Amino acid sequence: MRRPKLLDTMRDYSWPLFRADALAGISVALVALPLCIAIAIASGSTPFVGLVTAITGGFVISLTSGSRVQIGGPTGAFIVVVYGVIQDHGMDGLIVATIMAGLILIVAGFFRAGRLIALIPEAVINGFTIGIAAIIAASQLADALGLSAGKVPADMIPKIEALWAARGSLSLAALAVTAVTIAAILLLRRWRPRWPVLVIAVGAASLAVLWLHLPVDTVGSRFGALPSGLPAPHWPQVTAARLIELLPSALTIAFLAGVESLLSAIVADRMFGGQHRPSAELLAQGYANVLTPLFGGLPVTGAIARTATNVRAGGRTPVAGMVHALVILFVLLVAGGLAGALALPALAAVLLVTAANMAEPEKWREHWSLPWDERLLLLLTLLLTVFADLTIAIGAGVALGLLLRWWKGKRAAAWTPRER
């Protein structure tokens, strides 16, 4: 069924439900604000673009989603491919690739391809998730350590070489801000998990930088003041040659958006006993990835951590996700200037913690105890993700996984992803 869940929930909607959804939406917005800014910066874009993505993409996904509680926005999984596309083709190239990805997702949703996620081996999912986490962590070292490395290459080995060459510019102030922010996030998550931990940790660290006059880069010092409203829609320049050139990136974006959104919906279903509609979910991702880039946004998908936060905060209908997007819009309109004071090492700390959560080191022993073929698949996908190319890693991992499954005489059985 391709019918959005919003239409079903409106039949018996009530004020108590709205109060619960509104409170959940505000809670998720407080989590999303620093995260979206950090993801945009790590992707080679600007903080403003991250907020625009959360507003437009988040609203469209909630409006059309096949899940009652899905929260959409930019996610860490896109950092690798987005950074590469911006470096090679500019922001206009990313806009074209994202719109192409959205159209691919709409076609996939129309043909009910959502259930094909069961064919993707879990080892492949785990392998490229850990690989992406490693790349995200490496991408944050320059800001986390205050290194003056200039424009760092996208590929892992040249990136590490560039960072090592800049080791003499290490800033103890930046390192201290990063360490304190990480410690604050971890401690607050343990002691006060219901608080807006990321906002508190990043805000406190940024205030400390301001009061102590620490020599640390901020959003304002690097990117200038944020605009106080949404940009006008803009249609990029499109040629046949450009479409062909950007097709591999579009396929990768579509794959990541589809898989992550469906994983997020499955996790959310398990948390509150819901049942999402895979085809409607893919259509929602398609609509969002066609519309969001027209406003200059990044690729969007269902965000597992933000969706889980929504469920825990009491959100039970798509209205919560729409409120989350509107709250971020309100902050942009009223208090966008405050974002200029955010310390970049503090935002780097947010993504370092996010990368650690994605990698799930507590499960590495479990991964190592898998059968030899699944270990091989996981390691191959991980290494190709880090040192080759995400498109190659996904293609090779899925192809080898299906080959191994056929060789072992197994049918394509569905698996249940764990919450990330």
User: What pLDDT score does 403 carry?
Assistant: 85
The verdict on residue 374 lying in a domain is yes
The better pLDDT of the pair 259, 323 is held by: 323
Confidence check: pLDDT of 420 > 60 = no
For residues 118 and 376, give the distance between their C-alpha atoms in angstroms, rounded to a whole number.
19
Q: How confident is the model at residue 195 (pLDDT cuts 50, 70, 90)?
A: confident
The verdict on residue 12 lying in a domain is no
> In which element (H, E) is residue 240 found?
helix 240-272
Q: Which residues touch 164 (CB under 8 Å, ≥6 apart)?
A: none
**DSSP three-state, residue 72:** strand
What beta strand segments (E) does 312-353 contain?
none
Confidence check: pLDDT of 408 > 80 = no
Q: To the nearest whole number, what is the mean pLDDT of the chain? A: 90
Q: Which residues touch 215 (CB under 8 Å, ≥6 apart)?
A: 171, 173
Q: How confident is the model at residue 102 (pLDDT cuts 50, 70, 90)?
A: very high
Confidence check: pLDDT of 271 > 70 = yes
For residues 184 and 182, give the distance between their C-alpha atoms in angstroms, rounded to a whole number.
5
Q: What amino acid occupies position 246?
A: L
Confidence check: pLDDT of 117 > 80 = no
297: alpha, beta or left? (left if phi > 0; alpha if psi -120 to 50): beta
Q: State residue 211 phi and psi, 5-degree precision.
A: -70, -40
For residues 59 and 287, give the distance between their C-alpha atoms in angstroms, rounded to a whole number.
11
**Taking residues 387-403, what's their average pLDDT?**
83
**Taking residues 227-242, what's their average pLDDT?**
89
Q: Which residues touch 369 (CB under 8 Å, ≥6 apart)?
A: none
For residues 394 and 389, give the distance between their C-alpha atoms in angstroms, rounded to a whole number.
9
Q: Of all residues in the chain, what percent carry a pLDDT higher than 70?
A: 97
The verdict on residue 47 lying in a domain is yes
Q: How many CB atoms lie within 10 A of CB 9?
A: 16
Burial of 204 (0-12, 13-18, 19+ CB in 10 A): middle
Confidence check: pLDDT of 411 > 50 = no
User: What pLDDT score does 418 carry?
Assistant: 47
Q: Could you give the number of structural domains in the chain?
A: 1
Q: How confident is the model at residue 141 (pLDDT cuts 50, 70, 90)?
A: very high
**Taking residues 269-298, what's their average pLDDT?**
94
The verdict on residue 98 lying in a domain is yes
Confidence check: pLDDT of 303 > 80 = yes
Can you tell me which residue has the tokens 């996939």? 108
**Lowest pLDDT segment from 55-69, 118-132, 213-227, 301-315:** 118-132
User: What pLDDT score does 336 carry?
Assistant: 78
* Tokens read off for 305: 């951590």
Can you tell me which residue has the tokens 């969001």? 292
**Taking residues 202-207, what's their average pLDDT?**
94
**Taking residues 30-54, what's their average pLDDT?**
93
* Tokens read off for 93: 């190239």
The verdict on residue 413 lying in a domain is no
The verdict on residue 416 lying in a domain is no
Q: How many CB atoms lie within 10 A of CB 342?
A: 23
**Taking residues 182-198, what's their average pLDDT?**
91
Candidates 400, 410, 391, 334; CA nearest to 97 is 391
The verdict on residue 4 lying in a domain is no
Q: How far is CA 115 from the centre of its chain?
A: 22
The better pLDDT of the pair 409, 415 is held by: 409
46-94 pLDDT per residue, tens: 999 999 999 999 999 999 999 999 999 999 889 889 999 999 999 999 9
**Lowest pLDDT segment from 235-239, 331-335, 391-395:** 391-395
**Lowest pLDDT segment from 208-212, 253-257, 353-357, 409-413:** 409-413
For residues 54 and 78, give the distance between their C-alpha atoms in angstroms, rounded to a whole number.
14
Q: How confident is the model at residue 150 (pLDDT cuts 50, 70, 90)?
A: confident
**Taking residues 234-247, what's their average pLDDT?**
92
The verdict on residue 206 lying in a domain is yes
DSSP structure class, residue 45: S
Q: How confident is the model at residue 409 (pLDDT cuts 50, 70, 90)?
A: low
- The residue range of the domain holding 377 is 17-407
